[in-house]
Structure 1
Amino acid sequence: MNTLTFLLSTVIELYTMVLLLRVWMQWARCDFYNPFSQFVVKITQPIIGPLRRIIPPMGPIDSASLLVAFILSVIKAIVLFKVITFQAIIWIAAVLILLKTIGLLIFWVLLVMAIMSWVSQGRSPIEYVLIQLAEPLLSPIRRILPAMGGIDFSP
Structure 2
Amino acid sequence: MIGLNTAAVYVLQTIGSFYLLIVLLRFILQLVRADFYNPISQFIVRATQPLLKPLRRIIPSFAGLDLASLVLAILVQLALMALTLMLMGYGVGNPLQLLVWSIIGVTALFVKVFFFALIISVILSWVAQGSSNPAVILVNQICEPLLMPFRKILPNLGGLDLSPILAFLVLNLIDMLVIRNLAVMTGMLQGLSMAI
Alignment TM-score, normalising by the size of structure 2 = 0.71
Q: Equivalent residues in 2 for 1:105-144 (5 A)?
A: 105-120=113-128, 122-144=131-153
1:84 aligns with 2:88: no
Counterpart Cα distance in 2 of 1:147 and 1:115? 21
Partner of 2:112: 104
2:163 match: secondary structure: coil
Alpha-carbon distance in structure 1 between the residues aligned to 2:11 and 2:163 = 35
* More off after superposition, 116-125 vs 36-45: 116-125
Query: 2:156 aligned with 1:152, yes or no?
Result: no
3-state secondary structure, aligned to 1:44: helix
Is structure 2 residue 90 aligned with structure 1 residue 93? no
Q: How many residues align?
A: 155
Deviation at 1:42, TM superposition (A): 1.3
Gapped regions of structure 2 (runs ≥ 5): 165-196
Give 1:44 shift.
1.1
Greater RCO, 1 or 2 (C-alpha within 8 Å, sep 6+): 1
Root mean square deviation of aligned Cα:
1.9
| Structure 1 alignment gaps of length 5 or more | none
Identity, in percent, stands at 35
Greater Rg over alpha carbons, structure: 2
TM-score (norm: length of structure 1) = 0.87
Aligned letter for 1:12? G
Alignment check: 8 A CA contact 1:109 1:134 kept: yes
| Contact 1:147 1:153 survives alignment (8 Å) | no
